[in-house]
Amino acid sequence: MEEIFDREKLLIGEEKLQNLNKKTVAIFGLGGVGSYVVEGLARSGIGNFVIVDGDKVDVTNINRQIIATTKTVGRLKVDVAEERIKEINSSAKVTKFAEFVVGENFFTALEKENSELFETIKDVNYIVDAIDTVSSKIRIIEFAKANNIPVISALGTGNKLDPTKLKLADIYDTKICPLAKVMRKELKKRGITSLDVVYSEEEPIKICEGKVEISKENNDGNNAKKIGSIAYVPSVAGLFICYKVVSEFIK
């Protein structure tokens, strides 16, 4: 393991590198953003992962998800992500759950059942929300805040083309992003006064009959039709999140 991270050690030192190896990060969602979060954290020396996603790799994922190739289509994303983490750092520990976060009482039900997922998640050092639907994102954020676990949320990267418009901020300092607007409203209702996010200040676009037009988004901050995506926007958002998590650990 030492040789793998020699170049990183030159930047942060042995003590901080060893600290990263002791940390556990939970990543919810292994799509365009989440898969790059996992990639970046594995290559940064994080030693313990909890990955949660009930989806399988689809051929349409190949253009933007680092775990998606013609060889992995049809496989569970958590299985592919685990293999990739181990190929980067064989000593990393991975706990995986092929589950979707759905339902208003998702974590409450898990607690009552004393489930393995609940018992695992409540003890992590950081939570990354990289899923799509507002209701599920709110569940994760509420859980993290209630358990005093640092959390960062990825907002919409679909229908975006300019990675330079991505920013790290508190959700109450965001602008332009339609998903952020919806999230702010829901978080205010729940008395949540701060949340680290990665978001884009680019106006969402869509492809319509060969022309690029401004997209009208629904209440989840997503286009009601298919959402366009390109390789270098969600990937950059994922690496921004990786930066935030690692920087907090090495302070």
| Cα torsion 73, 33, 50, 137: sign | negative
* Residue 224 pLDDT class (50, 70, 90 cuts): very low
Beta bridge partners of 167: 199
pLDDT one-digit tens code per residue, 24-48: 999 999 999 999 999 999 999 999 9
* Tokens 């997922």, residue located: 117
Domain boundaries, the chain: 6-249
* pLDDT, average across residues 56-74: 98
pTM of the full predicted structure? Answer: 0.92
**Average of per-residue pLDDT values in the chain:** 91
Q: For 6-249, which CATH superfamily applies?
A: NAD(P)-binding Rossmann-like Domain (3.40.50.720)
Spatial separation of the C-alpha atoms in residues 223 and 205, rounded to whole Å? 9
pLDDT at 40: 98
Q: What residues have CB less than 8 Å from 82, skipping those under 6 apart?
A: 49, 51, 94, 96
pLDDT one-digit tens code per residue, 161-215: 999 999 999 999 999 999 999 999 999 999 999 999 999 999 988 666 454 444 4
Q: What residues have CB less than 8 Å from 75, skipping those under 6 apart?
A: 56, 57
DSSP-derived 3-state class of residue 1: coil
* Residue 10 pLDDT class (50, 70, 90 cuts): very high
